[in-house]
Structure 1
Amino acid sequence: MQRNDMKVAALDIDGTLYPGALGLQLLQALTANGISDKSKIEDIFKVVEKYRLNEIDFQIMATTAYNLFAEAIAGISQTVMQRIARQVWQQERTKLFPFVPKLIDILNSQGYSLVLISGSPDEIVCCLAEEFGISKYQGSIFATHQGKYTGKVNLLSGSLGKKYSIFLQMVKDWSVNLEESLAIGDSITDTALLEIVGKPVVFEPHPSLMLIAQEKDWLVTNRNNIVKHIMELGNPFLT
């Protein structure tokens, strides 16, 4: 494959490869280990619950939750966070959707260069990336100074439209064929990225994304059919 024919598969994690949110699991582990204040962690879960009950919109939820997350980890050593993240990953890796290893094998065999973009913290996103040999990944970044978190957010990768700009930055040194590229996501935050690739794949979507997928006639799939659908995208003669 020539460099100017490079095709990329951009994968979401939470709700797409993993049935939940790795960042929330990390929060719970920080509390369980006595590293972060329980009440501050509970405030984050309250904000997420308000969104689930449609009491606030996605952008308010995301901005508020990430700022609270940053405050909850202020003063904690980044080394400690990385250690806890790896512990959480070892517990949670078995909970990935069963199709994930096969999906990644198929995408690799079809010649895609894989990237991960997630709203979960970079400290835990890197664990999944390492597991599957994915060299380019991006999660949310919390500011540090002299090895400790400051209470500020540097990169809120789970905010609306952000995955689009993150993707373009990640592949800026590649000559990407966007029409041949693919993205898989499940929520409204994936929309801008799904719009720029030739093969958008919507996985068990949140209702807000489902409406957009139906309007744009995007491929909608689920845990039972995704491997079959990705194989068909790579070989139209299978359909």
Structure 2
Amino acid sequence: MALALFDLDRTLLGGDSDFLWGEFLTEIGAVNAKEYQKKNQVFFDDYAKGELDINQYLEFCLSPLANNSIKQLNKWHQQFMLEKIQPILLEKAKKVVDIHKKNGDRTLVITATNSFVTRPIAQAYGIEDLLATEPERVNGQFNGKVSGIPCFQIGKVHKLKQWCKENNETLDGAYFYSDSHNDLPLLELVDNPIVVHGDEKLLAIAQQKNWQCMDWT
């Protein structure tokens, strides 16, 4: 038995939940559409290039959580799941998750996208364990800030090691599935790095290192 770690966006999903959540907010009129879409695209492009300022991005993307009640956000998220996420759930990804479970492995989603957006998506794959960027709450309400460190790049490694310590787990024999070169710190840490829908930079590194590559679309 081992840990089976899964990145979420463009790995388990045929798209990016963080980006799509921003698009959804503009479509329902929850944010200023023109301004928000422009910034959302810039941050998305920066991420792809490996140049994302995670703190600036989180200040941007967590502000709508702070500006709306939990009740309203949950209602929107149900609609978001139906309209944006259900169409990009990947059957092949679900089969890989199920194989790991059948083998007795513990499955875990580890993602830079915040836990409000991602927890229901992880659960749609039957995965209860989630490591994500955690939005801070005060009296039950999001305040637009991050609790702890962002679950991004080397931050994923730090959060995972802490989680393993708290859950009496080990990384011996662990698998990690990811699409992005931003996840290289964790891919290089585990015994079984697997590239899924890899970006150009990651595919080049995977070829050099002889890492397994997969396509679940």
Decide whether the 8 Å contact of 1:41 with 1:72 is kept in 2.
no
1:34 aligned to which of 29, 34, 37 = 29
Unaligned runs of 5+ in 2: none
* Inter-CA distance 49–35: structure 2 relative to 1 (3 Å threshold): closer
1:1-239 maps to which residues of 2 (within 5 A)? 6-48=1-43, 50-51=45-46, 54=49, 57-60=50-53, 62-91=54-83, 92-154=85-147, 157=150, 159-223=152-216
Deviation (angstroms), 1:44: 2.7
Deviation (angstroms), 1:112: 0.8
Query: Partners of 1:185 and 1:14 in 2: how far apart?
Result: 9
Query: Partners of 2:24 and 2:149 in 1: how far apart?
Result: 21
Deviation (angstroms), 1:31: 2.3
Deviation (angstroms), 1:170: 2.3
Q: Give a deviation string over 1:55-109, Cα, whole Å, max 9, x none.
A: xx4333x443222112344322233223222221123223212312211111111
Q: Which amino acid aligns with 1:64?
A: Q
Decide whether the 8 Å contact of 2:111 with 2:152 is kept in 1.
no
Decide whether the 8 Å contact of 2:193 with 2:212 is kept in 1.
yes
The answer for the alignment partner of 1:230 in structure 2 is none
Query: Partners of 1:137 and 1:84 in 2: how far apart?
Result: 21
Query: Partners of 2:171 and 2:118 in 1: how far apart?
Result: 24
The sequence identity of aligned pairs, in percent, is 21
The structure number with the bigger radius of gyration is 1
Query: Partners of 2:140 and 2:2 in 1: how far apart?
Result: 37
Decide whether the 8 Å contact of 1:86 with 1:127 is kept in 2.
no
Query: Partners of 1:53 and 1:176 in 2: how far apart?
Result: 31
Count of matched residue pairs: 216
Query: Partners of 1:108 and 1:53 in 2: how far apart?
Result: 31
Decide whether the 8 Å contact of 1:187 with 1:209 is kept in 2.
yes
Query: Partners of 2:96 and 2:212 in 1: how far apart?
Result: 16
The answer for the alignment partner of 1:237 in structure 2 is none
Deviation (angstroms), 1:8: 0.4
RMSD: 2.5
TM-score by length of 1: 0.78
Query: Partners of 2:122 and 2:48 in 1: how far apart?
Result: 32
Deviation (angstroms), 1:52: 7.3
Deviation (angstroms), 1:155: 5.1
Deviation (angstroms), 1:50: 4.2
Q: Which amino acid aligns with 1:213?
A: A
Q: Give a deviation string over 1:32-59, Cα, whole Å, max 9, x none.
A: 22222324422432313543785xx433
* Inter-CA distance 154–177: structure 2 relative to 1 (3 Å threshold): closer
Q: Which amino acid aligns with 1:23?
A: D
Structure 2 SS opposite 1:170: helix
